Amino acid sequence: MIIPQTIIDELTAQAQQDAPNETCGYLLGTSGQEGDVVSENYRMENIDHSPEHFSFAPKDQFAALKYARSKGLKILANWHSHPASPSRPSQEDLRLANDPTIRYAILSLHEGVHLNSFKILNGEVVDKEVHL
C-alpha cells in the first residue's frame, strides 16, 4: 500500500492532536496495477476516548463507506494510533481485525513517529509493510 507523505503528515497531526487518546480513521484510495494507493484520510471519532483502545461509531462507518463510494474510492485500511506503544497490533487489535480484505495501519508516537500496516487473517499478522 502506498501512502503519500502528505497523508502520513495528516495522520501524524491527528494523532498528536488527539493524544494521549488513540485516534482513528479509514484510509481511502484506489487499487490498480501499482497496488493500493491511498488518496484520503477519513477521520473518525474514537468513541471510547481512551489511550489504550478505540471504537468507531457504526453510523460513522456507514457514512465513510457512502462517502468513499460517492468518490469512486475504496476503504483500503482501518488505521489508529498508539500514543505510548509501538506500531504493532495489540492482542485486542488482532482479535478485532475482522475484515480480511483491508489492511490495518498503526501510527505510533512512541519513541518517534512510526507507521506500519498489516494484513491480518484469523487473528494472525500475515504481512507487514513499513511506511515510516
Q: Per the omega criterion (within 30 degrees of 0), is the bond before 20 cis?
A: yes
Which pLDDT belongs to residue 35?
Answer: 92
Which pLDDT belongs to residue 114?
Answer: 98
Q: What are phi and psi of 91, to 5 degrees?
A: -60, -40
Q: Which of 112, 40, 17 is nearest to 130 (CA)?
A: 112
One pLDDT digit (tens) per residue for the chain, 132 residues: 999 999 999 999 999 999 999 999 999 999 988 899 999 999 999 999 999 999 999 999 999 999 999 999 999 999 999 999 999 999 999 999 999 999 999 999 999 999 999 999 999 999 999 998
CB 89 within 8 A of CB 120: yes
